[in-house]
Copies of this chain bind each other. A is one copy, B any other.
Amino acid sequence: MKKLARVLSVACVAAAPLLAPGTAAAQFAKPEDAIKYRQSVLTVMANHFGRIAPVVRGQQPYDPEQVKADVEIVAMMSKLPWSAFGQGTEGGAARPAVWSEGAKFKQAQERLQGDIAKLVAAAQSGDLAQVRTAYGAVGASCKACHDNFRNR
């Protein structure tokens, strides 16, 4: 009986990704894993976004390759955290509004992604003025989402 239970358990774990490919359920064994993952992604994103701050403020020389590299990391990270806000993963720094106002949260993600696409284009242009403008828009998107959906 124990053996059967184990076989079924293994089979269920194996089948879960087949039933729900690409969902939070398939990617995270426990809600804490989803919370840790999304916080980690956002930490990496914020760090590399922050590295560009002294450049757009004129406190550090503009190195187009370095800015492109940081923007590339920001862009990649910006695609990842959303699947980790599935039902049942409430907690961390996320406010209940993430789940109770799902459409608004989705809009905030789309605004961010749109602004980051413009930052990618600006970084590729190598024109600091364009980078500065696009950087400000991304920063405003970050802030708007945090104001509505993040505690502390």
Distance from A26 Cβ to chain B, minimum over Cβ atoms (Å): 8
A47 within 8 A of B: yes
A14 within 8 A of B: yes
A94 within 8 A of B: no
Q: Contacts of A39 on B, CB cut-off 8 Å?
A: 40
B37, A47: Cβ atoms closer than 8 Å:
yes
A93 within 8 A of B: no
A97 within 8 A of B: no
Distance from A40 Cβ to chain B, minimum over Cβ atoms (Å): 4
Q: Contacts of A33 on B, CB cut-off 8 Å?
A: 47
A60, B27: Cβ atoms closer than 8 Å:
no
A77 to B111, CA, bound (A): 25
**A interface residue count range (under 10 / 10 to 19 / 20 to 34 / 35 or more):** 20 to 34
Distance from A17 Cβ to chain B, minimum over Cβ atoms (Å): 5
Question: Which of B14, B21, B54 sits near A59, CB closer than 8 Å?
Answer: B14
Interface set, chain A 43-88, CB cutoff 8 A to B: 43-44, 47, 51, 54, 59-61, 63, 66, 72-73, 76-77, 80
B44, A40: Cβ atoms closer than 8 Å:
yes
Question: Which of B21, B22, B27, B40 sits near A40, CB closer than 8 Å?
Answer: B40
A18, B61: Cβ atoms closer than 8 Å:
yes
Residues of chain A whose beta carbon lies under 8 Å from any beta carbon of chain B: 13-14, 17-18, 21-22, 27, 33, 36-37, 39-41, 43-44, 47, 51, 54, 59-61, 63, 66, 72-73, 76-77, 80
